[in-house]
Structure 1
Amino acid sequence: MTRTPTASQTVGPYLHLGLTRMTFPDIAADATQGETIVIAGRVLDGEGQPIPDALLEFWQANAAGRYAHPEDTQDKPLDGGFLGFGRVPTDRDGQFSFTTVKPGSVPGPGNSLQAPHIVVCVFMRGMLRHLYTRIYFSDEAGNAADPVLGLIGDESRRPTLIAQREPGSNRYRWNLVMQGAEETVFFDC
């Protein structure tokens, strides 16, 4: 008996079919401490077309800079109503939006501090492996010294990770571009 390898397959349309009930677009509860913000944008392909069936997961520290995880033993306060996790699908126009609190700085390599950021994991059809990226904030002075942003050799690509604050509001705009000239920086985790 011989075994013939089967063809590999890409991820199917299960994201909206199987995970629609498991979305968490409001990471910040009413009692969560810190500045409540909204991050909205679109997920686009290399030609600027919307990707209507992506799923984005978010992990972040609370406003004090502490993760709701047992391995985070920093002497910073936990916020009992804040888990630091969210999940949102894109709509047919590739749009997404979620509400959270602006995170605090967290420790980085050595004795450095990382600028406030949100870790993003991207799932979508056609990808066998999910991708990781980050959202930083345009109004944070700590971006200049952030050790992870500093790893991006081509400084012209760093803005793909920075959400722009809309003037006079608590809203940030950030688009995720999967490939092409404006491709978002992704990290190999």
Structure 2
Amino acid sequence: MILTGKEIEKRVESKEIVISPFLPENINPNSYNFRLGRQMKVYTNELIDPAQENPVDTLTVNDDGIILQPRRLYLAETIETMGSTQFVPTYAARSSVARMGMFINLSAPLGDIGFIGKWTIQLFCIHPVKVYYGMNIGQMMFWHVSGEIELYHGKYQHASGPLASRIHIDFEQKIKKGLGLQQKIRDCEVPL
């Protein structure tokens, strides 16, 4: 079940949901409008390799705004720190933003219960779009859970700005596990 806007506000007051800073006027019937922050990151390489850390440039959204170019991925931050240890967060673009031909989330709308931080949103547009610091760009929704809660403790916890993909950490851990397994196999081998 999705929380209504009034319920989100109550749960913020009871500290079961974190939205900071919280603006009561940003409550919708069943979501909270969040705002675009100052920092963005863009990958500098043409090829993105998940097995390694990929270099990024940092851009600043000044008060005059910034023009996003088509077919380029911008990793932006929310002004708000958001999350919950009791409810599952999901987010989407505001319909007004989507109607400009801009995506704020390419394929990862589901947050983890227990993640609390500034969210990295993936901005992608089909034609040039100008965006401004502080504009209401997306909406966060919160859902009841069923079952035992296991809180998120992953590589993006407590984010304080836009973060590039850290999938390379998964590759590094897999390689370390693989090397450890190979050593265990060698240790168990019986000479012929």
**TM-score over 0.5 for the alignment?**
no
More strand by share: 2
Larger radius of gyration: 2
User: Structure 1 length as normaliser, TM-score?
Assistant: 0.28
User: Structure 2 length as normaliser, TM-score?
Assistant: 0.28
More helix by share: 2
